[in-house]
Amino acid sequence: MNDEQRERARKLLSQDMTATDNAASAARSEPSEPVGGFSVNWRELDDNLAHAEWVALRAFVEWLTVRYHLPVSMVPNCWWQHGDLVEELSALHAAHQAAFDETDAGFGPLNWHERFATAQARLRNSGSGCTSTHDGFRPRSWSNVTDEQEWDAWTNRSHAEQPPRAAQRREG
């Protein structure tokens, strides 16, 4: 390559780098689309949106407990009646959606599993507080464990101001 060719290559490279830098700056100034799922703020959830959110969370919880062999002692069948479990499971659901989003660079699944490992201790503590007669050693099944009428009544409200279940029993 002679001096003239080198100079021409340098100029072309310089122009290409400037164009790339300009495109990158323009892309950074544009608002980006949110990645992954939608987090549910259960405290402020509108009753009109409640049913769809509860159904989506239930599908995730049933998948999660079967896929990862979570015992009933960790996520009891009545998980949806325990606010702390709802919040933890909902956070895992949103994180799972974001981790497996098509725009993820490939680290999302590993990060999700790291967060899931951390969350299991909290699930264990929350789930073990249920006073029902749960059997944590049986294989997990969702057949005939949810009272569908009670579930349907429950999911038609957001329960944003729902007092803890124990307090309801004492009052009633």
Residue 75 lies in a domain: yes
Residue 78 within a domain:
yes
Q: Is residue 27 part of a domain?
A: no
Q: How far is CA 6 from CA 13, 15, 16, 20, 169, in A?
A: 10, 14, 15, 21, 84
In a domain, 119, yes or no: yes
Structural domain count of the chain: 1
Q: How far apart are CA 125 and CA 161, in angstroms?
A: 23
Q: Tell me the pLDDT tens digit for each residue of 93-124.
A: 999 998 988 888 889 999 999 999 999 999 98
Please check whether residue 19 lies inside any domain of the structure.
no
Domain-located, residue 31:
no
CA dist., res. 13 & res. 87, Å (int): 52
What pTM did the predictor assign? Answer: 0.61
- Residues 59-100: pLDDT tens digits? 999 999 999 999 988 999 999 988 889 999 999 999 999 898
Task: For residue 126, tell me if it sits in a domain.
Answer: yes
Range of the domain at 107: 47-165
Asked if residue 22 is part of any domain, the answer here is no
| Percentage of residues in the chain having pLDDT higher than 70 | 69
